[in-house]
Amino acid sequence: MHTKLSLAVALSAVTLGVAACAAPAPSTAPSAQAPAPAAAADFALDTAGAPGRIAQAGLEVLTAEGNVDHYHAHLDVLKDGKPVAVPANIGITAGPDHRPNGISALHTHDTTGVVHIESPTAGRVFTLGQFLTEWGVLGGSGAPGTGAGPLDGWTLYVNGQKYDAGIRDLPLKAHDEILLSYGAAPAQIAAAYAFPPGE
């Protein structure tokens, strides 16, 4: 009985880590710029606050990645022309032991900027605003241009084209290349990201 229980616990941990999708290896994508360490502390991920931010985004904490709808988008963030790394483990909760214990349908596994959309429900629309809320860089009270601040001064590009319909409302779609930029316009705007085969 003890062996079966240990095996069940081990399998559930593996399910959260690699269930429907393994974390991709870093890519030499034609993305605007390669990820770099976060430009400012205001873009860091507060892992302890994950459950509240997931709820604020209108999402649920699941016990495993969804496998009904499964696709990926890619996000680059620039602040004053400098790349900001999109943190690993956005949308993933952890227990007091710091081990993952829950995951939302919208999450990251690493710092490549690949956003995983893995839903247990078909046809649900997920937005950039929900993802930024889970990250904790949307809806705060910081000054414009900070991670927690309003969206004044930010410009959004999707697949190489400026997107004016609203940052919060952008629906995430399979293989979209999204660039969120603050300050001067980027010198180069990528139109695509080289997703690993099978993604």
Please determine, for residue 195, whether its predicted confidence score (pLDDT) is greater than 80.
Answer: yes
Q: Is 109 domain-assigned?
A: yes
35-39, 101-105, 106-110, 176-180: which has the minimum mean pLDDT? 35-39
Name the average pLDDT for the chain. Answer: 80
- E-strand ranges in the chain read 69-79, 82-84, 92-94, 100-103, 106-107, 114-119, 154-158, 161-163, 177-182
Question: Rounded mean pLDDT of 150-156?
Answer: 82
Please determine, for residue 15, whether its predicted confidence score (pLDDT) is greater than 80.
Answer: no
% of the chain exceeding 70 in pLDDT: 73
Rounded Cα distance, 90 and 110, in Å: 9
pLDDT digits (tens, 9 = 90+) for 55-78: 999 999 999 999 999 999 999 999
Residue 172: pLDDT band (50, 70, 90) is very high
pLDDT digits (tens, 9 = 90+) for 101-151: 999 999 999 999 999 999 999 999 999 999 999 998 876 545 555 666 667
Q: Is 55 domain-assigned?
A: yes
Alpha carbon dihedral 71, 26, 33, 115, in 10-degree steps, equals 20
Q: Which domain holds residue 40?
A: 31-182
Q: Is 193 domain-assigned?
A: no
The string of DSSP letters for 133-153 reads HHHT-SS--PPTTSTTS-STT
pLDDT at 166: 87
Q: Is 26 domain-assigned?
A: no
Q: Is 169 domain-assigned?
A: yes
- 3-state SS, residue 195: coil
Q: Which helix (H) or strand (E) covers residue 7, if one does?
A: helix 2-18
- 3-state SS, residue 26: coil
Domains contained in the chain, number: 1
Q: Is 5 domain-assigned?
A: no
pTM, rounded to two decimals: 0.80
Q: Is 102 domain-assigned?
A: yes
Q: Is 77 domain-assigned?
A: yes
Which is more confident, 29 or 54? 54
Which is more confident, 94 or 142? 94
Question: Rounded mean pLDDT of 181-187?
Answer: 88
